[in-house]
Amino acid sequence: MVDIAIIGTNGEEFAYGACPSAMTFFEQAEMVQGFVKLRFAGQASVSYRNLEDGQDAELAERVRRGEYELPLVLFDGEVRFTGDIPWQDIQKELKQAIEA
């Protein structure tokens, strides 16, 4: 099973690094979770983490340094996308990861 984590912010410290969107990062993560359930049932899971909760200190530091922009999309703990949640690219990478 592929573990997908979407990491965002609630708009406090890291709001400057966030891309503008009509949807919150949490809402975008919920949307991805729904798509994954429909297309890849039982083969992947999607979770959302708030970078400001302190559980991803290394990633928070890299965002502070400007190496990454929020939101982040991780596959099995590895950053795959930064600054966007590109659903079509996520699908392609997820399909490849499942077939590997």
Q: What's 90's domain CATH number?
A: 3.40.30.30
Note whether 76 and 3 are within 8 A (CB): yes
For range 30-41, the mean pLDDT: 94
Note whether 83 and 63 are within 8 A (CB): no
pLDDT-derived band at 9 (thresholds 50, 70, 90) equals confident
Tens digits of residue pLDDT in 47-64: 999 999 999 999 999 999
For range 14-35, the mean pLDDT: 74
Nearest 5 degrees, angle CA 41-CA 22-CA 82?
A: 60
What domain range includes position 11?
A: 2-99
pLDDT score of 3 more than 90: yes
State the average pLDDT for the chain: 88
Q: How many other CB atoms are found less than 10 A from the CB of residue 48?
A: 19
Instruction: Please report the pLDDT score of residue 25 as a whole number.
Output: 86
Number of domains forming the structure of the chain: 1
